[in-house]
Structure 1
C-alpha cells in the first residue's frame, strides 16, 4: 500500500494536533511516510509541532517529521498539502467581528463584512501555498479548508485555473453528523445526501438510507421543532458544541421555516435573522475572544505539557473525528475510491439555471482525477435569488483584490445582505481598510 507524504500548512493552528491524531488513527487506510508542518510564524508553530512530533513518534516512529518555515523544505516531495491558514490570526478575527457590530451589523468571521475583510486577507496567503505546491511538487493536491472558503475558491478558480486545488468545508459534515444521531444511525456513511448551494449558504434536498429509505420526512419534522440540536451537543466537548454552537444549531428551526421542504445550512441564520444575532452577541466579547480564552489556551497548554514531559500519555488533546473527511478526501485522491463528498467546485452546468462560473458546493465523486460533480438540475427562485446576490459579493471581492479596486470592494460591502445600506457599507470599508493595510492590497 502506497505511503504518502503530506504537509500541513498552518502548522501552528490549534486544530493541527487534533488533525494529526486523526491521521494517526487512520494509518490503516491512509499510511504515511512523512508529515511536515509549515507556517510563517515559526515560534507559534514550534509550540504545536514539538508536541505533535512526540505524538507521532509514540504512535508510529517510522513516520518522518519536519517543522519548517522554509517553503522549499515544506513543499518538496509531497503528495498532499492540507491547508488551514488564518492570515492575521485571531487578533484580526476579533476586529472582523467587532467592527461590524459597531455599525449595527452581524459580526461573523466568514459572513458579511467580517467575511469580506477576512477574504481580502486570505487570498494572497492561499495563492502563495498554491504557487509553492506548483513549484516544488506540481503533482500534489492541495486540500484547502482555509476560510472564507467561498472567496478563496473563487480566487483560485480565477487566478490559478490550472492548479490542483480542492476546496472543502467541515460545517456540512458537522451538521450531517447530527442528522445521523437524530436518525439513530452510527456514522455518516449510513446516509446518502443531496445538497446544493454556496459555501456556508446551502440546502439539503434529499437524505436517504443506504437501502433507499426516504429519511427527509423524519428529519424535517425533528428540525422544525429542535433545529439540529442533539443530546451529545449538550453533553460532549467537541469543536461544534458549546453554548454558542448550540444556539446556532437550535436556530436552524427558524431558518427551515422559510422552505420546509429542505434542510438549511446553519450559517443562513446570519442572513435571515441578523437582528437576533446582534442582540445575542456581546460586542465586547465575541466568538474570537471565546476561542482565544478557551480553545487556544487549552491546546497550547496541553502542547507545552507534552513537550515538557516528552510524552503524550495522559494528555487531554482529542482526536479530531469530525475532520475525518480530510482523510476520506486524501484516500479518494490517492487510491481512486470514488468517495462521495460535498466539495466546492465550478458550477459549469451542475446547477442548470445558475452562473456557470460560480463556485458551488455540491456532492462529488472523488477519484485520482479529482472531483466529478453530480448534477443538481434547476433550483427554485428563492434559493437562486439568494445565491445570485451572495455569489456576486464573492466575485466583487476577488475583483477588488485583483484590480486593487476600492470601488469594487465598496460594491461588495453594499451588496451584502447583512449590510443595511450604502452609507454603512462605506463606513465599514473605510475602517476595515485602515486596520487591514498590512494584509490587503493597496486600494485605488
Structure 2
C-alpha cells in the first residue's frame, strides 16, 4: 500500500444506505484510516449520487476527519489501486424490484426481493454485473477485498466461487446482527453481552445457540419468542407474525426473519396480497420512503445520518460492513457471521460452496468455525436452497432458459414446473432490458 491510508470504493454509492456507511467509517477512523472513499454509480443514478455525495462530504467535515469523498460514474477510474470494494447496487433500481414482487402474486406465489421468483430474477440480473466488476478488479486492484452487500448475497457469493477465480470476497448481510440486536433488546441487555452461533445460508441462517455472558440462554429466548408480544427479531420489510410455540420449541433454534416465507408460506402470501392491494408492494413503499429521504439529504443543514433511514430496512448495515473491513485490516481475529466458502464447516454442503456461518476474521479473510452436521429438521431445506442457488447462478452465467426454469421449479416457494415456466416467461419479458444473456442468438423465451 503506497498511500498513507486506505482507498475504499463503494459501487452503488448513490444508495440511500450510503450515509450509514459514512457514519461507520467516521466512527472507526482512528483504527480504520480510510483516506479516500469513492462513491460510484451508473449514469441513471447520477443525481442521487450527487445528493448522497454532498451529504457525505458534510458529514465528514462536521466530524472533522481526514476523509476525501470522490464521486464518479466511471467504475474503472474508481477501482484503480483500491484496498476494499463494497457493492450495494440494484440492477434496474426499485422499479425492477416492484416487478419481482408483483408478478408472482398473479400466480399466488410469494413475490419477495431475495426469496422465490423475485430472488431468482434479482440474482439473474446481478451476477453478470458482479462478475464484470471482478474482471475490472483483476486488472485494476488485484489485491483488494470485495465486500458484497448486494442481494441475494448468498447466491452472488456462490456465483463468484463457481464462475470466477476471485477468492478475496465476503458476502455480508445485516440479518444476523439484527437478530443479535433483537435478542439483546428482548433480554434488555447490551448487545456486546449476547453471542449467537450462526449457521446456514444467507436469509436461511439459524441461531443454533444463544449465549448471555457465556451462559446458554437459547431455551429462554425461544420461550420469549413464542409469547404473544412481537419478538423484535425481524426486519422492517418482513411482518412479525409470531411463531407456533410447539414448532419453535421442537426446532430448538432461532429462525431468521426470512424463514417465515418457508414455514408460514400461505399466511405470508395472504399478507403480501393484501398489502400490495392496499398500500403497494414493499418496493413501492420503499420508493416513497426513499423520496422522503432524498428530500432530507438535500437539506444543507443536515450533517449526519437522519433517524428516518432506519425505516428503510438497512439497520446495522454500517455496523456489519465497517466492522468486517476493520477486522480484516487490523487482523482482529474476532468472530462475525459472514458468507464465505464452506471449507468443510457445515457437513452436507459442498466444500467450495458459499455458506453463512460464524468466522474468525483475519487479515487473510474469514476462517469458518466448524459446525458439523446440521439438525435433520433443517438440513433438507438448507440443501434444497443451496441447490437452487447453484442452478440459479449457472442460469445467470449461461443465459440458459431451461436452466432458469429448472432453478425456478426447485425453489420450495414455487408450486409446480408449469407455474415455474409461466413465472420465468413473465419475468424474463418484464426484465428484458437487464437480462441480455437470455436474448442472444438461439436463447430466450420459448
Would you say same fold, with TM above 0.5?
A: yes
In structure 2, distance between residues paired with 1:53 and 1:256: 50
Asked if 1:195 corresponds to 2:198, the answer is yes
Residues 258, 273 of structure 1: alpha-carbon distance in 2 compared, 3 angstrom cutoff? farther
Is 2:336 the counterpart of 1:341?
A: yes
Matched residue SS, 1:410: helix
Aligned partner of 1:183 in structure 2 is: 187
Deviation at 1:185, TM superposition (A): 1.6
- Match of 1:8, SS state, is strand
> 1:161 Cα shift?
2.9
User: Which residue is 2:104 aligned to?
Assistant: 100
Q: CA deviation at 1:335?
A: 0.7
**SS of residue matched to 1:110:** coil
Kindly state the Cα deviation for residue 228 of structure 1 after the two structures are TM-superposed: 6.2
Distance 1:348 1:61, change over 3 A: closer
1:156 aligned to which of 157, 160, 166: 160
1:340–1:363 Cα contact (<8 Å) kept: yes
Deviations 1:252-297 (A, max 9, x none): 5569537431110110111122211121123341101110112x01
Rounded to whole Å, the distance in 1 between the matches of 2:294 and 2:207 is 37
Matched residue SS, 2:252: coil
Whole-Å separation in 2 of the counterparts to 1:204 and 1:62: 39
Cα deviation, 1:289-313, whole Å, max 9, x if unaligned, reads 110112x01221112113xx5x627
| 1:386 Cα deviation after fit | 0.6
1:207 aligns with 210
1:263 has 2:257 as partner: no
Q: Identify the residue that residue 277 of structure 1 maps to in structure 2.
A: 268
Does 1:4 find its partner at 2:9? no
Give the match's secondary structure for 2:433. coil
**Contact 1:252-1:266 at 8 Å conserved across structures:** no
Q: Is the 8 A contact 2:128 2:396 kept in 1?
A: no
How far apart are residue 406 of structure 1 and its match? Answer: 0.8
Matched, 1:91 2:87: no
Q: Map 1:429-440 to 2 at 5 A.
A: 429-440=424-435
Distance in 1 between the 2:397 and 2:78 partners?
27
| Residues 201 and 265 in structure 1, CA contact (< 8 A), matched pair in contact too | yes
Aligned ranges 1:44-443 → 2 under 5 Å: 44-60=48-64, 62-187=66-191, 189-210=192-213, 212-226=214-228, 229-230=231-232, 240-241=235-236, 245=238, 247-248=239-240, 250-252=241-243, 257=248, 259-281=250-272, 282-284=275-277, 285-294=280-289, 296-306=290-300, 312=303, 322-323=316-317, 324-440=319-435, 441-442=437-438
318 and 25 in structure 1: CA distance in 2 versus 1, 3 angstrom threshold: farther
Shift in CA distance, 278/271, structure 1 to aligned 2, threshold 3 Å:
same
Q: Is the 8 A contact 2:128 2:397 kept in 1?
A: no
The 1:260–1:227 alpha-carbon spacing in structure 2 relative to 1, beyond 3 Å, is: farther
Q: Which moved more, 1:107-116 or 1:175-184?
A: 175-184
User: Are the equivalent residues in 1 in contact too, given 2:114–2:120 (CA < 8 A)?
Assistant: yes
Structure 1: any 5+ residue segments left out of the alignment?
A: 234-238
- TM-aligned CA deviation for residue 129 of structure 1: 2.3
8 Å CA contact retained: 1:228, 1:252: no
Residue equivalent to 1:236: none
Equivalent in the alignment of 2:21: 19
Structure 2 distance, partners of 1:391, 1:42, is: 36
Would the aligned equivalents of 2:335 and 2:360 in 1 still touch at CA under 8 Å?
yes
Offset of 1:318 from its aligned partner? 6.0
Q: Is the 8 A contact 2:331 2:362 kept in 1?
A: yes
Secondary structure of 2:112's partner? Answer: coil
Structure 1 residue 128: Cα displacement? 2.4
CA contact (8 A) 1:338 1:367 kept: yes
TM-score by length of 2: 0.90
Classify 1:417/1:240 alpha carbon distance in 2 versus 1 (closer, same or farther; 3 Å). Answer: closer
SS at match of 1:362: strand
Give the SS at the match of 2:298: helix
Per-residue Cα deviation, 1:338-361 (whole angstroms, up to 9, x for no partner): 121111122231112333333211
> What is the CA-CA distance between 1:163 and the residue it aligns to?
3.5
